[in-house]
Structure 1
Amino acid sequence: MPIQLSIQRAQQLKAKPDEKKLGFGQYYTDHMLIIDYTKGQGWHDARIVPYAPISLDPAAMVLHYGQAIFEGMKAFRTEKGEILLFRPDKNMERMNVSNDRLSIPPVDGDFLIHAIKELVHLEQDWVPSEPGTSLYIRPFIIATEACLGVRASYQYMLMVILSPVGAYYSEGIKPVKINVESEYVRAVRGGTGHAKTAGNYASSIKAQEEAKEGGYAQVLWLDGVEKKYIEEVGSMNVFFKINGEVVTPELNGSILQGVTRDSVLQLLKSWNVPVTERRVSIQELYDASANGTLEEAFGTGTAAVISPIGELSWEGRVIQINGGVIGPIAQRLYDSITGIQNGTLADPFGWTVQVETAKA
């Protein structure tokens, strides 16, 4: 990774969008970060430049063989006007796990955090202050070498773009209806399920579309071999509270190691709430529902933080969870994580990293 970072400022700045109507991923800031990789030279030419389209050769290997990984992070503005990042070191760790699986050269996480802080500092006026809003940070890497040979690319481009986003729940947190996917498979052990790579999301779209046609917000993925053990819900990790104990599928090589997932585990343990990482079958959930011990279910991820589940449908059998309202554990987790992120609650874990907010 380079030590020097150059900055080229945009000559004309965009008008800022209405913070009350941001949505998700609809607006982009004035600048972006680019770092190139060349075999034999390593990562080089780190630069912050005006946001603009990029040029790719039609034979760029990402377009043909899918070498592409990404991360999702956020910057939050506190009531005091400070800007905080949430656990960026964990995103860097996971990025290199994804890089390794896709045969992409590793990045220097410390330097990339530094560069992202510089980019957010430059774009600090884009960090919204409305309740529930944030600045979404999307780092990604693509293979750029022009070659039709099936091998790892010798050239890559790392980019970071920023997007102000609105509150995920515009009308408050409401449990969603989930369809248990019995036909399509998200991932198998030995594949790329543990990596945050573009292809995983492309292959999930078909099931999501069919679920939405049936009136469901997302799909619950089962394992790809026996199709009986729970893996993820949509693009989120998933938790269940059964008879007083919170359980979540163990990391097995096909499940993404979520930053929010890890945060939830640490919070629950600090509260002395029983929590276990293990295999969880869909039949176990339905049995727990039948005997009255299935108390809560929720997904966890960067975008929504906590997404409560109020209904599951599996092979025509529908169960309700907690009367279709958010449970106390899910609510406490949501309040605690968002409170730490926006600075209204103390951060006993040292999760937040402050960005310099003096005028760029």
Structure 2
Amino acid sequence: MKPSLLTVTKTTSPKELPPSKSLIFGQTFSDHMLRIPWTDATGWGAPSIVPFSTINLSPSSTVLHYAQSLFEGMKAYRHAGGTVTLFRPEMNMKRMNTSAQRLVLPAFNGNALIECIKALVTIDRKWIPNEPGHNTLVIAPPKEALLFVITCPVGPYYPQGFKPVPLYGTTEYIRAAPGGIGAYKLAANYGPSNQGYAQNLWLQGPGHWLTEAGTMNLFVVIKDRGGVSELITPPLDGMILPGVTRDSVLTLARNHVSGVKRLQGLPDTIKVSERPINMAEIVQSSKEGRLVELFGTGTAAVISPVERIGYNGGEVMIPTGEDGMGPVSRPLWTELVGIQTGAINSDWNYVVATK
């Protein structure tokens, strides 16, 4: 990000300045905007000041689906005599870089960005109201929205294909809290892992209770001391997304237990539980050789086995079969994929077209 490379394209259609008393909070914008592109291949590009306009985004942009975005707000003031100032912009730059680090977005040179912002404010300084309290955005319900649907052919969700994935059991951050938005399919619930693991394993509270992985609900299989396997998933307590694949796995497992439809390969005796489970139980069952497997479920991943969990500076190794899946996940995956692909008849399939 080099201010020396800044280019300026001024608008050919400057807007008329509205009277300050007519301003509606956050709905009137000046003539220009600052744009600075970035790519992981080339880094920060040349900054440019251009006429204010809409931005062109692909509907598949990560920001629209996983909320990988941040914002900062600061004010420009007009002093007596015409001097224009920014209030403590270095603090905004520091906070913005901290936010970027948390979201695994690119860091930037704060002083360089301030220089670019100074150029923008200088060009549009006539827009700064003389009266106090007239220059900021507001949080309010939207007045416009766009619902769109896109389709794409897909392969394996993870780059390494259908293989067991490692999870990072984060004790530094939480995904959701009681009374929050964890139970809803919102972009703000997703956060990337930057610890060299495929996804975060979100842990809740001082007890390190399992909630979800980055894009998956969680299932754990543990044998009790009598040798009976228990299929466990955290309950829908307001912090857990009610996943479609999660519900499908539970239904298939319960149908097997009740005899509605027995699944070949699934243990004859198995307990299905929606109950809290924490890392202490995972670690203890692993030490005692009772941890059978751990896997995630989701529309994208379907059923994804987990091979290890980074936790408290060490790693908990999860048993995996020769093909990566365990004795419970394999027959459930086989049945589920069979239904999804039409190899197995099911009223879960909604017919769109017959040819």
Which TM-score bucket, shorter chain as reference? 0.5 to 0.7
Paired letter, 1:356: A
Aligned to 2:152, the other structure's residue is in SS state strand
1:257-276 matches, cutoff 5 A: 257-272=242-257, 273-276=270-273
| Aligned match for 1:179, one of 168, 176, 194 | 168
Report the equivalent of 2:222: 242
Seen in structure 2, the aligned counterparts of structure 1 residues 335 and 295 have a Cα distance that, compared at 3 Å, is same
Structure 2 counterpart of 1:285, from 282, 287, 292: 282
Change in Cα spacing, 1:68 to 1:197, as seen in structure 2 (3 Å) is farther
Return the match for 1:164 from 153, 158, 173: 153
Q: Is the 8 A contact 1:182 1:227 kept in 2?
A: no
Write 1 or 2 for the structure with the bigger share of strand: 1
Which residue does the alignment assign to 2:340? 341
Q: Percent identity?
A: 40
2:199 paired residue number: 218
Residue 171 of structure 1 deviates from its aligned partner by: 7.2
> Per-residue deviation at 1:287?
0.6
Give the Cα separation in 2 of the matches to 1:301 and 1:57: 37
The Cα RMSD (Å) is: 2.6
Q: How high is the TM-score relative to the length of structure 2?
A: 0.54
CA deviation string 1:210-249 (max 9, x = no partner): x22xxx22221101x3351000012100000011000001
The answer (yes or no) to whether the contact 1:310–1:326 under 8 Å persists in 2 is no
* Residues 164 and 320, structure 2, Cα contact 8 Å, conserved in 1: no
Instruction: Return the alpha-carbon distance in structure 2 between the equivalents of residues 172 and 226 of structure 1.
Output: 34
Instruction: Report how far residue 313 of structure 1 moved.
Output: 2.0
Question: Are the equivalent residues in 1 in contact too, given 2:156–2:162 (CA < 8 A)?
Answer: no
Secondary structure, in 3 states, of the residue corresponding to 1:288? Answer: helix
| Corresponding residue of 1:356 | 353
Please give the per-residue CA displacement for 1:269-311, whole angstroms capped at 9, x wherever unaligned: 0111311111111111101111111111000000110000111
Opposite residue 203 of structure 2, the aligned amino acid is L
Corresponding residue for 1:298?
295
1:310 aligns to what? 307
Residue of structure 1 in register with 2:238 after alignment: 253
Report the counterpart of residue 87 of structure 1 in structure 2: none
Mark the runs of 5 or more structure 2 residues left unpaired by the alignment. Answer: 1-51, 56-62, 67-135, 224-228, 258-269
Answering whether residue 181 of structure 2 is matched by residue 192 of structure 1, we say: yes
1:4-49 residue CA offsets vs partner (Å, 9 max, x unmatched): xxxxxxxxxxxxxxxxxxxxxxxxxxxxxxxxxxxxxxxxxxxxxx
- Give 3-state SS (helix, strand or coil) of 2:338's partner: helix
* Cα distance in 1, alignment partners of residues 198 and 328 from structure 2: 21
**Given residue 333 of structure 1, which amino acid in structure 2 is its aligned partner?**
L
**CA pair 158-299 structure 1, distance change in 2 beyond 3 A:** same
Is 2:317 the counterpart of 1:320?
yes
Contact 2:164 2:304 in 1 (8 A): yes
SS at match of 1:163: coil
Cα offset for 1:319? 2.2
Q: Which runs of 5+ in 1 are unaligned?
A: 1-55, 60-66, 71-146
* Conserved 8 A contact 2:199-2:213: yes
Work out the CA distance in 1 between the residues paired with 2:64 and 2:275.
Answer: 30
Deviation at 1:155, TM superposition (A): 2.6
Q: Shift of residue 187 of structure 1?
A: 1.0
How much does 1:264 deviate?
0.4
Which residue pairs with 2:213 in the alignment? 233
Using the TM superposition, give the Cα deviation of residue 57 of structure 1 relative to its aligned residue in structure 2, in angstroms: 6.8
